[in-house]
Amino acid sequence: MADRLKDKVAIVVGAGQTPGDTIGNGRATAILFAREGAKVMLVDRDPVAVEETAALIRKEGGDCKNFEADITSADDCHAFAQATMATYNRIDILHNNVGISVEGGDAEITEITTEAFDRIVAVNLRSMVYACKHALPVMREKKSGVIISISSMAAREEYPWVAYKATKSAMIALTEQLAIQNAEYGIRANVILPGLMDTPMAVDRRAEAQARPREEVARERDAKIPLRGRMGTAWDVAYAALFLASDEANFITGVALPVDGGRGCRVG
């Protein structure tokens, strides 16, 4: 299919990515939304990374704008919502795609510091609250809109670090609240739970931190996936987001969708 998001305006929060050999979830989703006809506001704290995403979209003839923002700041979230309205005069899709764990100081519960816990809550959860706060009035006024957020299968599976587990679990509950409280406005809210993905943040950073070859880390992760014995990619997450953003999913709201190659089906 083509033009599944024709004439839609999407905000992708976390549209840049960390350096690496593969593509990240936010960048892949931004590119795919643009390919399917959306005008995309690219939001990221890293102006270089987000410009790289923008260049890829423009190379394919897509329509996008960049916005540098600290998504933990209520003022910055208000500002990118206003900038989207000033540029495109509507907000149809809000895609929340940010998250940190160990790089933010995450640890097991007996070792976590106040500073690390507060930082991870701010990035992973508070940012979602602020982004929704400033996009929802626009969506409510026009009686339509879609909110898609990226949680993690860490919310459902065993995970060693407390702040990531807590915040990604909270995103599911918040999505359910958004769905029921905004259904009367025609607004849908859903959350995606990626499993082990082959992205720069998941693989390259881990390999660097452990001083191991990337290929070795990737093989270990591949071996844990039932479906075809390999990790997913950012495109798998992006296509799930595309479906949820499109009119094909117009009766789907409040859903937590695993994208994990069946790993979450293992019991016992």
- Domain harbouring 95, CATH code: 3.40.50.720
In a domain, 226, yes or no: no
Query: From CA 118, how far away is CA 104, in angstroms rounded?
Result: 10
**Does residue 32 form part of some domain?**
yes
Residue 19 lies in a domain: yes
Tell me the pLDDT tens digit for each residue of 123-148.
999 999 999 999 999 999 999 999 99
Banded pLDDT at 204 (limits 50, 70, 90): confident
Q: Is residue 131 part of a domain?
A: yes
| Residue 268 predicted with pLDDT over 90 | no
What is the rounded average pLDDT for all residues in the chain?
96
User: Which two structure tokens, joined as six digits, stand for 62?
Assistant: 């897509």
Catalytic residue among 88, 130, 159, 164: 164
Does the residue 219 lie in any domain?
no
Which of the residue ranges 40-49, 134-143, 259-268 would you say has the lowest mean pLDDT?
259-268
Pull the structure tokens for residue 169.
Answer: 């679990």
Domain residue limits at 54: 9-195+234-258
CA distance 53 to 80: 17
Q: Would you say residue 64 lies in a domain?
A: yes
> What's the total number of domains in the chain?
1
Say what the pTM is.
Answer: 0.95
Residue 200 lies in a domain: no
Question: pLDDT grade, residue 205 (50/70/90)?
Answer: confident
239 flagged as catalytic = no
235 exposure class (CB count in 10 Å sphere: 0-12, 13-18, 19+): middle
Concatenating the DSSP letter of every residue in 153-205 gives GGGTS--S-HHHHHHHHHHHHHHHHHHHHHGGGTEEEEEEEE-SB--IIIIIH
Number of Cα atoms under 13 Å in the Cβ half of residue 56: 19
13 inside domain: yes
